[in-house]
Structure 1
Amino acid sequence: MDKKKLSETDIITKFIMPAVLSAGWNLMKQIRQEVKLRDGKVIVRGQLGVRKTVKSADIVLYHKFGQPLAVIEAKANKHEIGKGIQQGLDYARLLEVPFIFASNGDGFIFHDKTNLTQLETEISLDDFPTPEQLWQKYCAYRGFTTAQLPLITPDYHDDGSGKEPRYYQLQAINKTLEAISNGQNRIILVMATGTGKTYTAFQIIWRLWKSRQKKRILFLADRNILVDQSKNNDFLPFGSAMTKVTKRTVDPAFEIHLALYQALTGPEESQKAYKQVDRDFFDLIIIDECHRGSASEDSAWREILEYFSGATQVGLTATPKETEDVSNIDYFGEPVYTYSLKEGIEDGFLAPYKVVRVDIDVDLQGWRPTKGQIDNHGELIDDRIYNQKDFDRTLVIDERTELVAQTITSYLERTDPMAKTIVFCNDIDHADRMRRALVNVNPKQVAKNEKYVMKITGDDEIGKAQLDNFINPKKAYPVIATTSELMSTGVDAKTCKLVVLDQNIQSMTKFKQIIGRGTRIDDRYNKLWFTILDFKKATELFADEKFDGEAVKIMVSTPEDIIDDEDGTFLDDLAGELAGNGEQTDATDDANNNVNEPEQDYNANQKDGEMGSDWGDDEEEKRFIKFKVSGVSVKKMAERVQYYDTDGKLVTESFKDYTRKTIQKQFTSLDDFTRKWNEAERKQTIIDELANEGVIWQALEDDISKDLDPFDLICHVAFDQPPLTRKERANNVKKRNYFTKYSQQAQTVLNALLDKYADAGVTEIESIHVLKVQPFNQMGKPMEIAKQAFGNRKGYDQAITDLEAQLYTATDAKAS
């Protein structure tokens, strides 16, 4: 056996795995091969999105399921023994493990972060460490005491399906348990929307509950949908030990309790159901979406947490609430783990976005009524200049609503009319009018199904009843949902492809939550990215350094200067209440309608939806009267498309610009490119490499021409060369009588291959599978053709190489 000729897979099978197994590692419980840690970032250009290819860790070793210890990176024997060490270090960084092994089958290079005197040593195949040796070194490295181990080492839940926590979920879970083992009882995890906070919470609870480290657990949320989604999905394995708190009764017969704040407390003492049990009844409380009502010190919901102050409390949030007078960090402490939207997009677990910014003339220039002008209802309109922040809040211009609806519809018509779409409006009244406008500009779609457009807000039982259908990928309708607050958080709409912003959003917290409605990926339904259609300049918040930075605690000494709460809900809710003829806004009404009879959300008068009693003055109410006018000329001034760039910023550039920059990074000049292209044994290799950098060939063909070969597309776009079509290149080869050196049978094959090239391109003729289709399948099987026409497979491959050299000969270039 010539070891140098063995593949990487052979090296793993014949040398590395035997060495690991002989050291005592359990094949079924402690060893996993081809561990894919990332999904591959999605690159978006035009209407296409493709995933970058990602490599998998060859072998990961575990102390037990869910507790990784080491990474092994293998290479073929023709490489140096330590060639894979840097790749292994990258995987180890994601898994946060200190042990990395690289091998080419001759032995191992062992990178040991616990050994600061000599980080890397070479060991033989026979000296691979045992599981106990690495575990002991790991515990010493992390400083674990014997007393901590019962909290750190409980088993994860394994349903046998192969599903397991992603690398960042592992880190979040393990860091939480480590913090608890160190005596920390206030913990917060910051994880971007769509990254699986509930599944992470389930595994934390499961490990502590099954090991009896925590015996009674409370999962708290402020929306019914959050409780029900958890109970019916991730939390199912708790079975009969789990209950949802209803009718203001805490049943001590159960160990896992899922509850709304509203079900546990109320303004009257008799409604404070949490007091039915002792203060030490719960020893673990998980607070979902803890950036909302539980954050504020004077929130009535906070009293639940304070009553069970002896329990370990873990907060989960995508957007830790940080305002001048409210700080979750102040209550929970610094996050033990943060996984941001940017990290999620880079890893390919979250969907990137493109932004279409639409500027409307009245938004930019403002609108002023004529002297003494009255609105559609006979109200005298206050004489001032109304601007973007006023529209649909204090002043309604019907033509503006119609223009927004038409712009949304036009976008869907030229992309996908059935793409799930959420339109965020200022309040319920605005959502009603937007639904009506969208219905009127989509008569054919609405005729097919009247649920094509639905208003889904807290005040509308019919609309709310359609929420499950909207978020269900298998249900086509509703397609477009107009809302204001109800769908801004807690709605797992995996296939939402369009998020429309026609709402004044000042709060970074709220902005992140709304953007999170589109960030989920669903490969099964081709949901890899989403579009944000922005009418209110809300996406300018992407440029704010706080958008994807670490949570920073902000506390100032002069909160009396603040006229609006950080979420913007104080004035939004008040405006909706007064402008909507007594209607409640989504945020408040959602709480009222999400609880079981007779539960109500008395907390509407607290922070995050406060209705202060000092706002009853007539003059103050007048400022929230909505004027409604028609007959105003409204038009679009500009429409700009921006893409999510590699650094997490939005860039405005055409796909051609992006392609040019990408190719010029790979190739220093036209000569450099043509030389590497001609030297490439398979052109497909270069094509794939560029595709992995975000050059989406289909989008480029759509943008320039479908008749050009990738070679000509590159020369034209990146180096301004006049291109030849595939048909022109094929005809040039035929004119040279180049085929006369081959037999008649070979000439027949090559001529047919040229025709295939003209139709489909170079990748078509590089695959041996081309010989399985017309007209080749009438000539025989692929190997028969290769043997009879070219002597053997090697002769056929050489003929293809020579054919490609003829196709791309320099003399074919068009004169500049």
Structure 2
Amino acid sequence: MQTKTIKKSNLTETDIITKFILPSIKNAGWDDMTQIRQEVKLRDGQVIVRGQIGMRKTVKSADIVLYHKPNMPLAVIEAKANKYDVGKGMQQGLDYARLLEVPFIFASNGDGYIFHDKTNPTQLETEISLDEFPTPTDLWNKYCIYRGFKKEQLPLITQDYHDDGSGKSPRYYQLQAINKTIEAVSRGQKRMLLVMATGTGKTYTAFQIIWRLWKSRQKKRILFLADRNILVDQTKTNDFQPFGEALTKVTKRTVDPAYEIHLALYQALTGPEEYQKAFKQVDPDFFDLIIIDECHRGSAADDSAWREILEYFRGATQVGLTATPKETEEVSNIDYFGEPVYTYSLKEGIEDGFLAPYKVVRVDIDVDLQGWRPTKGQMDKNGELIEDRIYNQKDFDRTLVIDERTQLVAETVTSYLKCTDPMAKTIIFCNDINHAERMRRALVNLNPGQIAKNEKYVMKITGDDEIGKAQLDNFINPKKAYPVIATTSELMTTGVDAQTCKLIVLDQNIQSMTKFKQIIGRGTRINDKYNKLWFTILDFKKATELFADETFDGEPVQIMERTPEEIDEGKVDIETPPEHPDDENTITENPPSDYDAQTDGTTDDQLPINNDDWGEITDDDEEKRFIKFHVSGVTVKKMAERVQYYDTDGKLVTESFKDYTRKTMGSQFSSLDEFVKRWNTADRKQTVIDELEEVGIIWEALTQEVGIDLDPFDMICHVVYDQPALTRKERANNVKKRNYFTKYSDTAQTVLDNLLNKYADVGVQEIESMQVLKVQPFNQIGSLSEIIKKGFGGKPQYEQAISELEAEIYQPTQQTA
């Protein structure tokens, strides 16, 4: 029997990979199970937000990644169909290689390879045949020389990752962070800093680092330090669970030397009194690895409690983890740990689609901008004489409480939730515990219907409130609907993994960039399952002006909405009183003496959750520090409410979605004629629609802003090129007037007439899918195959009829002249 020869140029990219590239790789000795992975998705796809709608950009996967061992990448192979040049995929492969930090890139069309070899700077690219593909040993040896690995480093560098059998593997940036840390340890480096944005999996990264060092026996006793019970407990239960019986949590200020992996609150290991320094129960050389979570908090200052522990175990390898390294004149992470071995920023996380983008709604209140001054001799609600001066934004809810201002903030939050999603998890950051309680009360009174359904709709979650703290786990659990709104001060600024938090309200004076980044981090986690792709920041205190700071690395998403004219704030004359310190600066690094006496000998579960709780002041403490005046009867109103977007340079940009569409289309098509030509020549209009969605044009959002339900073609013509709006129904009627269907059989005419009606109702996407023939009214005519065969004579004839129908629908009119 004669074998039919398949022409290689007719093969798809997948066929080229299957029939030519994979056999070539396997023949060179690469193991199919442990060293070859196909369709490796490195990014999740950036979330594009328009109005209240979010969608992910489609991302391409690396065709093939080659590994020395699982999670130790060496090379990227990018394939193209044979109709393209052999090196067509090189630039794409170079981009993937940059993410994975591998030096070997191959591009192929099935005829051979273009081999890009960064280890050979004298000849970066060469062409090799399919039979000349390098062996695993060849690339590994070249890689080791390229990275400068010495023989004694290899046992640690090649130590296996933990594999739980679920198929979970580190993301590309986690791989880099883990591998770079392991390599640094193998070189004998003692102190390392990893900077990874909130929500990017620092704890999982730390687990894999510890696992490989522990399994290799390079490090035998490990201490993982955190400053919050919830962090320690989550770590023990989740990421660190594979350590099994080797793992313990330090409780009752007792370090048990029988265990190898120790999780501890640093508050449980130290204190101002010598007898509280539990870390001294073991010798200074007991721990040979210490991981410090959120190290910007406790270990940055020379006199901090964490630093005391680190200095005691100075011989141990010490790795600091933080999303926000602290660098000021007084404190420095880098001074202690050195320059970061790896950094993955908030901006990178948003661009890759691993972190949620966000929009900012700035709300300006008149008393904040213009200030408030008491009348002569005015007494507050408690009978205190109010100091005669002008109070402004930094005073409110710190030295002066205005009930009406609290009410207005609560009303604005309630209105926003009612207009978007009343069940959207919300964190409101207040100045102190008293402020958080008053905000809770105002929100309860404004939401009686929700409170009737569940009294936990609004909860105060602060360090002094055991009932509120007990609800923290429920708040961050996506499966738990309640609480919905949490009012807080300091307790939830860090370490709270609120995956479904969709609204962050800033009614707190924030001047610290570190604290601002941590607060923003409460909303940056993505949860596709619960439709949490982006979040909103509702800012009442101008805190988001910190976006313009050069140390901020993640700009808000561009939101295309109409916004009011900005108020000219420069005309407002405000007398600025002496500033009170920012909350962060009032937090003591060491517990106060009354705390020590109270908690000595208690279990960790009875300890405050973290340093911030020492900063949470009670009403009694407030009286000792300063008098807080409390007034009511003040007229308070909003002066402006607007959506803002800051670009990568921290500059304010305000732009409608129509403006964005015009600008984007200008970069895609030089003229209306070019767009019309692309539309008319496309075999499927859906292809053009998808292309425009890829660059961020979301039709539903554009329809909402324009206020007219138009076909995508007419929407672009109207919005971008100022053509008169022509509806789908008008286009369909124009086709019917031309008596176009008469050349077809009766059955075909009936089908096409119904398809035209479908177009008028739904759009061109509907008529381009054959599946529409399976539903009413088409299924009354016959089955899909019967309609195509009897009505049109076959599939090619049916597809031709659809093309002609679309040509009639989009026949040039005055609109596109």
TM range (shorter): over 0.9
- The equivalences for 1:477-516 within 5 A come to 477-516=482-521
In the other structure, the counterpart of 1:289 is 294
Instruction: Give me the whole-angstrom Cα distance separating, in 2, the residues matched to 1:95 and 1:349.
Output: 16
Conservation of the 8 A alpha-carbon contact between 1:509 and 1:567: no
In the other structure, the counterpart of 1:521 is 526
Q: Within the alignment, does 1:736 sit opposite 2:734 as a pair?
A: no
In the other structure, the counterpart of 2:42 is 37
In the other structure, the counterpart of 1:553 is none
| Structure 1 residues 438-484: Cα deviation after superposition (integer angstroms, max 9, x where no partner) | 00111111111100000000000000000000000010000000000
Conservation of the 8 A alpha-carbon contact between 1:280 and 1:308: yes
Q: Within the alignment, does 1:569 sit opposite 2:593 as a pair?
A: no
- The equivalences for 1:395-406 within 5 A come to 395-406=400-411
Conservation of the 8 A alpha-carbon contact between 1:244 and 1:257: yes
Conservation of the 8 A alpha-carbon contact between 1:395 and 1:626: yes
Q: Within the alignment, does 1:469 sit opposite 2:477 as a pair?
A: no
Conservation of the 8 A alpha-carbon contact between 1:223 and 1:591: no
In the other structure, the counterpart of 1:168 is 173
Q: Within the alignment, does 1:596 sit opposite 2:604 as a pair?
A: yes
- The equivalences for 1:678-693 within 5 A come to 678-693=680-695
| Structure 1 residues 744-780: Cα deviation after superposition (integer angstroms, max 9, x where no partner) | 2111111000000001000111111111111112222
TM-score, structure 2 normalization: 0.93
Q: What is the deviation of 1:644? A: 6.3
Against the structure 1 CA distance between its residues 127 and 505, is the aligned structure 2 distance closer, same or farther, given a 3 Å change threshold?
A: same
Instruction: Give me the whole-angstrom Cα distance separating, in 1, the residues matched to 2:597 and 2:238.
Output: 25
Instruction: Give me the whole-angstrom Cα distance separating, in 2, the residues matched to 1:342 and 1:594.
Output: 42
Match of 1:699 among 701, 708, 720: 701
Conservation of the 8 A alpha-carbon contact between 1:342 and 1:648: no
The alignment partner of 1:147 has SS state of helix
Q: Counterpart of 1:130 in structure 2: which amino acid?
A: T
Q: Within the alignment, does 1:261 sit opposite 2:266 as a pair?
A: yes
Instruction: Give me the whole-angstrom Cα distance separating, in 1, the residues matched to 2:156 and 2:582.
Output: 37
Conservation of the 8 A alpha-carbon contact between 2:100 and 2:176: yes
Instruction: Give me the whole-angstrom Cα distance separating, in 2, the residues matched to 1:58 and 1:419.
Output: 39
Conservation of the 8 A alpha-carbon contact between 2:588 and 2:611: no
Against the structure 1 CA distance between its residues 594 and 814, is the aligned structure 2 distance closer, same or farther, given a 3 Å change threshold?
A: farther
Instruction: Give me the whole-angstrom Cα distance separating, in 1, the residues matched to 2:796 and 2:809.
Output: 20
In the other structure, the counterpart of 1:25 is 30
Instruction: Give me the whole-angstrom Cα distance separating, in 2, the residues matched to 1:583 and 1:421.
Output: 33
Against the structure 1 CA distance between its residues 463 and 573, is the aligned structure 2 distance closer, same or farther, given a 3 Å change threshold?
A: farther
In the other structure, the counterpart of 1:723 is 725
| Structure 1 residues 723-753: Cα deviation after superposition (integer angstroms, max 9, x where no partner) | 1111110000000011112122111111000
Instruction: Give me the whole-angstrom Cα distance separating, in 1, the residues matched to 2:738 and 2:602.
Output: 77
In the other structure, the counterpart of 1:436 is 441
In the other structure, the counterpart of 2:97 is 92
Against the structure 1 CA distance between its residues 572 and 252, is the aligned structure 2 distance closer, same or farther, given a 3 Å change threshold?
A: closer
- The equivalences for 1:361-400 within 5 A come to 361-400=366-405
Q: Within the alignment, does 1:753 sit opposite 2:761 as a pair?
A: no
The alignment partner of 1:517 has SS state of coil
Instruction: Give me the whole-angstrom Cα distance separating, in 1, the residues matched to 2:310 and 2:340.
Output: 18
- The equivalences for 1:769-780 within 5 A come to 769-780=771-782
Instruction: Give me the whole-angstrom Cα distance separating, in 1, the residues matched to 2:616 and 2:307.
Output: 15
The alignment partner of 2:121 has SS state of coil
- The equivalences for 1:411-422 within 5 A come to 411-422=416-427
Instruction: Give me the whole-angstrom Cα distance separating, in 1, the residues matched to 2:625 and 2:364.
Output: 26
Q: Counterpart of 1:570 in structure 2: which amino acid?
A: N
The alignment partner of 1:810 has SS state of coil
In the other structure, the counterpart of 2:242 is 237
Q: Within the alignment, does 1:15 sit opposite 2:15 as a pair?
A: no
Conservation of the 8 A alpha-carbon contact between 2:106 and 2:116: yes
CA RMSD of superposed structures (Å): 2.6
Against the structure 1 CA distance between its residues 17 and 650, is the aligned structure 2 distance closer, same or farther, given a 3 Å change threshold?
A: farther
Instruction: Give me the whole-angstrom Cα distance separating, in 1, the residues matched to 2:338 and 2:605.
Output: 36
TM-score, structure 1 normalization: 0.93
In the other structure, the counterpart of 1:556 is none
Match of 1:152 among 154, 157, 172: 157
- The farther-off stretch of 207-216 and 512-521 is 207-216
Q: What is the deviation of 1:571? A: 3.9
Against the structure 1 CA distance between its residues 728 and 648, is the aligned structure 2 distance closer, same or farther, given a 3 Å change threshold?
A: farther
- The equivalences for 1:155-234 within 5 A come to 155-234=160-239
Conservation of the 8 A alpha-carbon contact between 2:113 and 2:127: yes
The alignment partner of 1:374 has SS state of coil
In the other structure, the counterpart of 2:809 is 807
Instruction: Give me the whole-angstrom Cα distance separating, in 1, the residues matched to 2:319 and 2:601.
Output: 27
Against the structure 1 CA distance between its residues 644 and 66, is the aligned structure 2 distance closer, same or farther, given a 3 Å change threshold?
A: farther
In the other structure, the counterpart of 1:298 is 303
In the other structure, the counterpart of 2:414 is 409
- The farther-off stretch of 737-746 and 448-457 is 737-746
The alignment partner of 1:356 has SS state of strand
Q: What is the deviation of 1:643? A: 3.9
Conservation of the 8 A alpha-carbon contact between 1:427 and 1:484: yes
Instruction: Give me the whole-angstrom Cα distance separating, in 1, the residues matched to 2:464 and 2:806.
Output: 67
Q: What is the deviation of 1:599? A: 5.3
In the other structure, the counterpart of 1:659 is 661
In the other structure, the counterpart of 2:61 is 56
Instruction: Give me the whole-angstrom Cα distance separating, in 1, the residues matched to 2:549 and 2:703.
Output: 35
Q: What is the deviation of 1:268? A: 2.1
Conservation of the 8 A alpha-carbon contact between 1:320 and 1:328: yes
| Structure 1 residues 341-388: Cα deviation after superposition (integer angstroms, max 9, x where no partner) | 000000000000010000001011111111111111111111111110
Instruction: Give me the whole-angstrom Cα distance separating, in 1, the residues matched to 2:53 and 2:602.
Output: 38
Against the structure 1 CA distance between its residues 363 and 604, is the aligned structure 2 distance closer, same or farther, given a 3 Å change threshold?
A: closer
The alignment partner of 2:673 has SS state of helix
Conservation of the 8 A alpha-carbon contact between 2:225 and 2:266: yes
Q: Counterpart of 1:72 in structure 2: which amino acid?
A: I
Conservation of the 8 A alpha-carbon contact between 2:490 and 2:612: no
Instruction: Give me the whole-angstrom Cα distance separating, in 2, the residues matched to 1:389 and 1:590.
Output: 33
Instruction: Give me the whole-angstrom Cα distance separating, in 2, the residues matched to 1:34 and 1:604.
Output: 45
Q: What is the deviation of 1:645? A: 5.5
Match of 1:313 among 318, 323, 332: 318
In the other structure, the counterpart of 1:797 is 799
In the other structure, the counterpart of 1:558 is none
Percent identical: 79
Q: Which runs of 5+ in 2 are unaligned?
A: 1-5, 556-577
Against the structure 1 CA distance between its residues 697 and 601, is the aligned structure 2 distance closer, same or farther, given a 3 Å change threshold?
A: closer
In the other structure, the counterpart of 1:670 is 672
Q: What is the deviation of 1:598? A: 6.7
Q: What is the deviation of 1:153? A: 1.3
Q: What is the deviation of 1:707? A: 2.8
Q: Within the alignment, does 1:449 sit opposite 2:449 as a pair?
A: no
Q: Counterpart of 1:797 in structure 2: which amino acid?
A: E
Instruction: Give me the whole-angstrom Cα distance separating, in 2, the residues matched to 1:141 and 1:349.
Output: 30
Conservation of the 8 A alpha-carbon contact between 1:708 and 1:726: yes
In the other structure, the counterpart of 2:572 is none
Instruction: Give me the whole-angstrom Cα distance separating, in 2, the residues matched to 1:238 and 1:603.
Output: 28
Instruction: Give me the whole-angstrom Cα distance separating, in 2, the residues matched to 1:590 and 1:128.
Output: 69
Q: What is the deviation of 1:570? A: 2.9
Against the structure 1 CA distance between its residues 311 and 565, is the aligned structure 2 distance closer, same or farther, given a 3 Å change threshold?
A: farther
Aligned length: 786
Instruction: Give me the whole-angstrom Cα distance separating, in 2, the residues matched to 1:602 and 1:229.
Output: 15
Q: Counterpart of 2:691 in structure 1: which amino acid?
A: E
| Structure 1 residues 277-324: Cα deviation after superposition (integer angstroms, max 9, x where no partner) | 111111000000000012111112311111100000000000011111
Conservation of the 8 A alpha-carbon contact between 1:424 and 1:483: yes
Conservation of the 8 A alpha-carbon contact between 2:271 and 2:277: yes
Q: Counterpart of 1:569 in structure 2: which amino acid?
A: E
Q: What is the deviation of 1:814? A: 8.6
| Structure 1 residues 662-717: Cα deviation after superposition (integer angstroms, max 9, x where no partner) | 12221112112111111111111111111111111111122224531001111111
Q: Counterpart of 2:318 in structure 1: which amino acid?
A: Q
Instruction: Give me the whole-angstrom Cα distance separating, in 2, the residues matched to 1:598 and 1:538.
Output: 34
Instruction: Give me the whole-angstrom Cα distance separating, in 2, the residues matched to 1:573 and 1:450.
Output: 35
Instruction: Give me the whole-angstrom Cα distance separating, in 1, the residues matched to 2:554 and 2:769.
Output: 47
